[in-house]
């Protein structure tokens, strides 16, 4: 029997808080977790607005970009173009550890909840649901309208986990970076990973 470490699919959509996805990618690769990365069309624009730089769309150039930006050599990184619907990830026969959408727009949630997969992220999420694999959706919007809430309920009923990134105060974060690390590590707890030590609740009020 051939042994192969399946990748985790990380999908970054056009919602604010791109830094959460970037830190996730860095920690996953540092922990030797292979990642298949898809940025939605909208993610490229939000990245520019939050970081004032451009990410190359070409998968080979993008991998070089991330390796340089994150300063990580470990793990296998495969970047995919948002509209490459013939990619391996578009088929249930391609095995993965699961998929995370972080941060996730209300648009993506709506299209996945309705089953109308259009781009590679939506198709891959649809595949994860039909194959009964782990699908984590980290929504980013406030306030939620009734349609957002209904769509998230629909996804939850179909097997997805809805894990918003919510900062902790009990961990006494001293910087935004610490807060980001806490939220990212907590999200990947769902896979049983321990990406980094964080100040978990120790049961002491004082």
- Given the rule CB under 6 A, which residues bind ligand FMN? 13-16, 40-43, 45-46, 49, 105-108, 140-141
Provide, rounded to whole angstroms, the least separation between the CB of residue 45 and ligand FMN. 5
Nearer to ligand FMN, 90 or 198 (CB): 90
Provide, rounded to whole angstroms, the least separation between the CB of residue 148 and ligand FMN. 8
Burial, 53: exposed, middle or buried (Cβ in 10 Å; 0-12, 13-18, 19+)?
Answer: exposed
Sign of the Cα pseudo-torsion (69, 181, 160, 134, in order): positive
Provide, rounded to whole angstroms, the least separation between the CB of residue 153 and ligand FMN. 17
Provide, rounded to whole angstroms, the least separation between the CB of residue 34 and ligand FMN. 23
Nearer to ligand FMN, 8 or 165 (CB): 165
Provide, rounded to whole angstroms, the least separation between the CB of residue 111 and ligand FMN. 8
Provide, rounded to whole angstroms, the least separation between the CB of residue 108 and ligand FMN. 4
User: How big is the CA angle at 175 (ends 174 and 178), to the nearest 5 degrees?
Assistant: 90
Nearer to ligand FMN, 31 or 83 (CB): 83
Nearer to ligand FMN, 64 or 166 (CB): 166
Nearer to ligand FMN, 118 or 170 (CB): 118
Nearer to ligand FMN, 80 or 140 (CB): 140
Q: Nearest 5°: phi and psi at 17? A: 85, 45
In this structure, are residues 202 and 41 in contact, taking their beta carbons and an 8 Å threshold? no
């Amino acid at each position: 029997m051939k042994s192969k470490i399946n990748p985790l699919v990380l999908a970054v959509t056009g919602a604010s808080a791109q830094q959460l996805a970037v830190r996730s990618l860095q920690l996953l690769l540092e922990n030797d977790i292979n990642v298949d990365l898809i940025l939605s069309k909208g993610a490229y624009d939000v990245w520019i607005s939050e970081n004032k730089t451009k990410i190359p769309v070409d998968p080979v150039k993008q991998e070089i970009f991330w390796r340089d930006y994150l300063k990580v050599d470990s793990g296998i990184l495969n970047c995919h173009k948002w509209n490459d619907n013939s990619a391996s990830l578009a088929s249930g026969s391609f095995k993965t550890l699961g998929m995370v959408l972080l941060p996730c727009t209300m648009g993506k949630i709506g299209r996945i909840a309705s089953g109308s997969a259009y781009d590679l992220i939506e198709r891959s999420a649809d595949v994860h649901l039909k194959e009964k694999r782990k699908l984590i959706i980290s929504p980013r919007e406030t306030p939620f309208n009734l349609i957002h809430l209904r769509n998230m309920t629909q996804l939850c009923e179909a097997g997805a986990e809805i894990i918003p990134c919510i900062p902790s105060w009990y961990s006494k974060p001293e910087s935004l970076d610490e807060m980001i690390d806490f939220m990212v590590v907590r999200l990947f707890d769902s896979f049983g990973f321990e990406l980094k030590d964080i100040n978990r609740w120790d049961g002491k009020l004082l």
